[in-house]
Amino acid sequence: MSSSKKLVELFYDVVSPYTWLAFEVLCRYRNVWNIELKFKPAYLGGVMHVSGNRPPGVVPNKFLYMTTDLTRLSDYFDVPLSPPANPFEAMFEKGSLNAMRFVTAVAEKEGDVEVERVSRELWKRIWSTDQDITQPASLTEAGLKAGLSASQVEEFLTLAKSQPVKDKLKSVTDEALKHKAFGFPLIVCHVNGKPEVFWGSDRFELMAHCIGEKWVGPQPGKPTAKM
């Protein structure tokens, strides 16, 4: 294996539960695989609109399947997924624009450690404890739980309303669209100067093959039974 790390970019939005699964798996594997993991907070609503995709929540049978699917995936990935009481309201009526502008503001001023922690807390709010992620008080609580100081949170809330941060979020979303994104998670692995693009939280085995690594399941540190 080459000593140089392969860049792996995760384009994500905390409104997507499947992206939370991919996020946690990549966080677990970044010290197992020879990769440099880069978080790319973007806006899923913009991707869906431009690509013409329809979210599973607006297709009745897909929505019913998703509810069952997330319960199984929560156990398999060991991620505390629990759909909100009204997923349609949380995902489509309230949305995630404010939350992703807040994450973008954090990304502009801090490193990936802070971005990871804030993103995880926002995912927990919407997809584990059924809490709001749109209001300033909600973002404040998530930021404080992620280890930010009160002054940092206030700074990021202000920055999130600024044009440069709005433009940055749009720029990263456009970057995902240049990779032909139609949803999240979108994972871009840079291999020998070429981007290898993967969509979804169930492509890790193929992704590992493409980057010359080994997939050993969603919990690489957990012993697995031998067949």
User: Domain holding 155: CATH number?
Assistant: 3.40.30.10
* Helix or strand holding residue 37 (H, E): strand 35-41
Nearest to 6 by CA among 178, 193, 197: 193
Task: Indicate whether 68 belongs to any domain.
Answer: yes
Query: What residues does 195 pair with on adjacent strands?
Result: 190
Task: Indicate whether 152 belongs to any domain.
Answer: yes
Tell whether pTM > 0.85: yes
pLDDT at residue 93, as a whole number:
87
- Phi/psi of residue 40, nearest 5 degrees: -130, 80
pLDDT at residue 224, as a whole number:
56
Task: Indicate whether 155 belongs to any domain.
Answer: yes
Say how far apart CA 120 and CA 89 lie, in whole Å: 20
pLDDT in tens, the chain (227 residues): 446 899 999 999 999 999 999 999 999 999 999 999 999 999 999 999 999 998 777 788 888 888 899 999 999 999 999 999 998 888 888 999 999 999 999 999 999 999 999 999 999 999 999 999 999 999 999 999 999 999 999 999 999 999 999 999 999 999 999 999 999 999 999 999 999 999 999 999 999 999 999 999 999 988 653 43
Task: Indicate whether 200 belongs to any domain.
Answer: yes
pLDDT at residue 225, as a whole number:
39
Q: Are 32 and 38 in contact (CB under 8 A)?
A: no
Task: Indicate whether 1 belongs to any domain.
Answer: no
* Helix or strand holding residue 190 (H, E): strand 186-191
Domain hosting 109: range is 6-211
Task: Indicate whether 150 belongs to any domain.
Answer: yes
Count the domains in the chain.
Answer: 1
Residue with tokens 């807040």: 102
Task: Indicate whether 194 belongs to any domain.
Answer: yes
Task: Indicate whether 221 belongs to any domain.
Answer: no
Q: Are 87 and 130 in contact (CB under 8 A)?
A: no
